[in-house]
Amino acid sequence: MSRIGRKPVNIKDVQVELNGKDLKIKGKLGELQFTLHPNITVEIDGEVLNVKRPNDQKENRALHGMTRAIIQNMVTGVTEGYSKTLEIVGVGYRAELKGKNLLLSIGYSHPIYFIPPEEITLEVPSPTQIKISGIDKELVGLVAAKIRSFRKPEPYKGKGIKYSDEIIIRKAGKTAG
């Protein structure tokens, strides 16, 4: 039995609707929906939601824990939300907001203009920091990865866009001979 799949999901602060295999979760920050796999069932017991699987086949075991984790992430997203912080390292590298869109000057001959999805909120507390927040954990991570991919940190000087908790392992440069 999956250790994660066995754990119940606490749904005290959210409204859960189950129509066939469509699951909708509403909270104070918004609403998310997910379509369950045909082999997986969900039981709602008061303030607790349990994920069940029909048998111990490999596919069902994999889906069991994954489905429970996705539902837990949805509940956390609509109650607390998710955020990631990126840092820009480099002389002259900076970010600024133009309305809801992000303008990056990161050493290329042209500025990069990034238009985020509607569900995502971008903040620029300082010209070298970008805060990405939203209720969908997967989408917040995808947007953060996309912005980071414009200029990944390089190992010699550490210049580029990195996650705030990321540690860049530095390499030694050339030595004069």
Which CATH number fits the domain that encloses residue 139? 3.90.930.12
Task: Assess whether 66 and 109 both reside in one domain.
Answer: no
Domain that holds residue 67: 3-79
CA 59/CA 71 separation, integer angstroms: 18
Cβ atoms within 10 A of the Cβ of 84, count?
Answer: 20
The mean pLDDT value of the chain amounts to 93
Task: Assess whether 49 and 87 both reside in one domain.
Answer: no
Instruction: Provide the whole-model pTM.
Output: 0.90
At position 10, the amino acid (one-letter code) is N
CA 93/CA 122 separation, integer angstroms: 18
- Among 23, 50, 79, where does a domain finish? 79
Strand partners, 85: 131
pLDDT tens digits, 89-143: 999 999 999 999 999 999 999 999 999 999 999 999 999 999 999 999 999 999 9
| pLDDT value for 124 | 96
| pLDDT value for 123 | 95
| pLDDT value for 2 | 67
- Among 43, 58, 79, where does a domain finish? 79
| pLDDT value for 1 | 54
